[in-house]
Amino acid sequence: MNYFAHETAVIDDGCTIGSGTKIWHFSHIMPKTVIGENCNVGQNVVISPDVVLGNNVKVQNNVSIYTGVICEDDVFLGPSMVFTNVINPRSAVVRKSEYLKTTVKKGASIGANATIVCGNDLGEYCFIGAGTVITKEVLPYSLMVGNPGRHVGWMSKFGHKLEFDAAGEAKCPEGGERYSLANGRVKCLD
């Protein structure tokens, strides 16, 4: 093993786990899960079959990641956030064939207690505020808050709110990279 798993973690057969990854107390990694290198899976996390996590994904405590979810590299999943996988669940109705896919693009951050309704992709470096409920697609670099989630601004790759000038340009105060805003979309220029 090139990864660490706490003795209380349950890792089913058929998983692929990258080197340098750490899986903590009471977490359950189900069959056919793929977890990349240098990930951190906090305590009491459930990762369902066929989930894919890229490299350097941080999964905080008490997170549920259900079948149909793909997280690209450098994604942050905050404490107790959850993904869904069926739009209209009923206990007595089996809908495993209706699982919807959700892709969380590179560098996105999802805050504590947020809910991501299945079938809604999250763009690169978007920032989902704590407790937000996402019910539609999220554009790259978007800052989303509330229930239902609403767009309230734009974030840099370093997680700073961007302030655009009259020409539609902004600069990250930490990373220094430049951004442009045109036609309701943000693009990193560097």
Distance CA 87, CA 119 (A): 9
pLDDT digits (tens, 9 = 90+) for 40-78: 999 999 999 999 999 999 999 999 999 999 999 999 999
Distance CA 159, CA 36 (A): 23
* Integer angstrom CA distances of residue 34 from 28, 49, 53, 144, 147: 13, 9, 6, 28, 31
The number of domains in the chain is 2
The answer to whether residue 92 sits within a structural domain is no
Q: Are residues 116 and 190 in the same domain?
A: no
Distance CA 108, CA 141 (A): 8
- The whole domain housing 30 covers 1-87+99-155
Q: Are residues 109 and 19 in the same domain?
A: yes
Is the pLDDT at 1 greater than 90, yes or no?
A: no
The answer to whether residue 93 sits within a structural domain is no
pLDDT digits (tens, 9 = 90+) for 89-105: 999 999 988 999 999 99
The CATH number of whichever domain residue 181 belongs to comes to: 2.20.70
